[in-house]
Structure formats: C-alpha cells, structure tokens
Amino acid sequence: MKDQSWHIGVIGGSGLYEGAELEEAQQIAVRSPFGEPSGPVTLGTLGGVRFAFLPRHGVGHRLPPGRVNYRANVDVLKRCGVTDILSISAIGSLREELAPGHFVAVDQLIDRTEGRERSFFGEGLVAHVGLADPVCPRLSGLAADAAEAAGGTVHRGGCYIAIEGPQFSTRAESRMYRQWGADVIGMTAMPEARLAREAELPYAILAMVTDYDCWRESAETVEAAEVFAVMGRNAALARRTLLSLAEALPPVREPSPIDRALDGAFATAPDHRDGRLAAMLDAVAGRALGNGMK
C-alpha cells in the first residue's frame, strides 16, 4: 500500500464509485455545524490510496446547484481527513475545440453565482485568503495525466464560468461569456473552490464536456437529456481515471502551499473573535486557529 499521506476527496456523481474497484468501502454520515451535507460520505481505497466520495447533488440527484450546501460538503470532507479535493463535473463548451466527451482540467474561474454562502468566515471572525490561482496545479496535472492514461481526450487549462442556474444560459449570455474569456460553463465550481481554499485543501476540477453551449449560430438549444446521456457514456472513463490517478500518485504527498492558506489570513484580533464561530471552524481552520492565533 502507498504511503497514507494522500487522501483524495472526490465530489461528483454517485456513479463515479459505483462499480469502481473500491476496497474496504464504508458509507458514513458525517455531521457538520454548517448544516446538512449533500449526503453520506463513502470511504475506501483505490490502488492503495484512500478516497472519500461525496455526491454533490445528493443520492438520486435531488439537489439543484443553488441548493447544494457547499460549506457542509467541504467541511465534512475535511473532517474525514482528506488532503486534496478533486471535482468531477459536467460542463458546457464555449470553444469549438472543446468537444462533447472531452475533459478539461480547468485552471481559472469566474463566479457569476448569486445568493450562495461563499465563505466559512464572517462577522466575529474575518479572514481573507488568496484566490488568484483557485486550482491546485499539482493535483490538476495529476488528474489530467490520469484521464489521458485512461483513454480520455484532455485539454489542460481553461476558464470556467460558474452561473447560478438552474436554467442554461441565453444565447446573448453565452456569447458574452466567450468575450469575457471563458472557455467552459457550469453551475457548481463556485463557491466550492473558494471554500476548499479556506479549508486549506488543494482543489482541482476535471470537467467533462457534455454539450456546446448555445453560442453557436446553427446550434440547437442545450437540453438536459443530452447532458445526462454524455455523462452516462463517460462514467466508466471517469472511474478509470480515478484508478489511474491512484496508481500515479507519488508515494509521499509533499506539502503544498495551500495546506497553509490561512497563515496570515485572519483580520479579527484574537480578543475580538467570536468563540461560537471559532468552534464551528474546528475542522476547517483548527490548524491555524490553534497555532497561537486564538
């Protein structure tokens, strides 16, 4: 078995681990002070590496993007001891070369979501983390390598624009997003990436192109049935990718700068911090809060 310093949290559909070669699998319900997560966490090993799977939209896809409790999801994965988070999600393409069935290892994000809880911190305990590069380049590169090894077509790098949904975008919006420099479009990467950074968890997105967004003059409108059909066809490839990732991980997980993203991030003076909020952050920020910063 490989060194157990790696523990990969995977946020995606439940089909990602169903049928996978997951050993020592167990499903556990993990409670969070930030409310109910999307569902129980499935723990196990692939290729000798620990994995924790969490279905973003809940069992049976019962949660729309705007109702996912992203804070609780990240919090429970942190409580399970994950060291890194890999998001596997469906996206629409804003570029001709990013064809349905391809994967994109996203490296930048534009946030156009509304009304979602975007931070673990707030009144009584203010913190500001850096987010210039929201995706971990090490994990993203490893995931891209794994997808290629599994037989997928992978594009390295790309800007993901996260919209609120649940409707798909209008043609005018789709064309505007292209002008902004976005390459792909989805509904779930934000605030997930923000929260992962606050939780000091390196985060990467391996996004599956399911359709061309509606920017093309001759294109039909995006239909949910089309999206789900492509996802279903690529589920086996996604599972092979996870096994390839496990087999390719370095034997020892070297520290990442993101592991200490909260160093120097706290703005609230120690004697003015809200003790209740600090207690809620025991998993997310316990390392930093306990490091002489109370």
Q: What pLDDT digit, counting tens, does each position of 240-290 carry?
A: 999 999 999 999 999 999 999 999 999 999 999 999 999 999 999 999 998
Binned at pLDDT 50, 70 and 90, residue 223 comes out as: low
Lowest mean pLDDT among 77-91, 139-153, 214-228: 214-228
**What value does the mean pLDDT take over residues 6-12?**
95
**What value does the mean pLDDT take over residues 55-66?**
92
**DSSP structure class, residue 126:** -
Out of 3, 213, 274, 282, the active site residue is 213
Instruction: Judge whether residue 199 has pLDDT over 90.
Output: yes
Strands 84-93 and 7-12: parallel
Binned at pLDDT 50, 70 and 90, residue 292 comes out as: very low
Q: Among positive and negative, which fits the CA dihedral 63, 165, 119, 159?
A: positive
Residues found in the chain: 294
pLDDT of res. 237: 86
Give the closest residue to 6 by CA, choosing from 136, 174, 169, 185.
136
- Which residue segments constitute the domains of the chain, with CATH numbers given? 7-274 (3.40.50.1580)
The highest-confidence range among 20-24, 69-73, 219-223, by mean pLDDT, is 69-73
Contacts of 73 (CB under 8 A, 6+ apart): 11, 37, 38, 54, 56, 192
Instruction: Judge whether residue 13 has pLDDT over 90.
Output: no
**What value does the mean pLDDT take over residues 21-47?**
93
pLDDT of res. 15: 60
CA distance 9 to 53: 6
CA distance 107 to 29: 31
The highest-confidence range among 6-10, 214-218, 222-226, by mean pLDDT, is 6-10
Binned at pLDDT 50, 70 and 90, residue 238 comes out as: confident
Residue that has been written with the tokens 């983390």 in this structure: 129
CA distance 198 to 181: 26
Strands 49-55 and 7-12: parallel
Instruction: Judge whether residue 225 has pLDDT over 90.
Output: no
**Local structure of 167: helix, strand or coil:** coil
- Per the prediction, the chain carries an average pLDDT of 91
pLDDT of res. 294: 37
Lowest mean pLDDT among 67-76, 212-221, 256-265: 212-221
Out of 111, 145, 211, 274, the active site residue is 211
> pLDDT tens-digit profile of 107-144?
999 999 999 999 999 999 999 999 999 999 999 999 99
Say if residues 59 and 14 touch (Cβ distance below 8 Å): yes
Instruction: Judge whether residue 216 has pLDDT over 60.
Output: yes
Q: Which tokens belong to 42?
A: 């499935």
What DSSP line would sit under 8-70, residue for residue? EEEEE-GGGTTTS--EEEEEE----TT---SSPEEEEEETTEEEEEEETTTTTT-S-GGG--H
Is 213 annotated as catalytic?
yes
- C-alpha of 197 from chain center: 11
> pLDDT tens-digit profile of 161-186?
999 999 999 999 999 999 999 999 99
pTM of the model: 0.92
What DSSP line would sit under 211-250, residue for residue? EE-TTSTTPPPP-HHHHHHHHHHHHHHHHHHHHHHHHHS-
**Percent with pLDDT over 90 in the chain:** 80
Instruction: Judge whether residue 22 has pLDDT over 80.
Output: yes
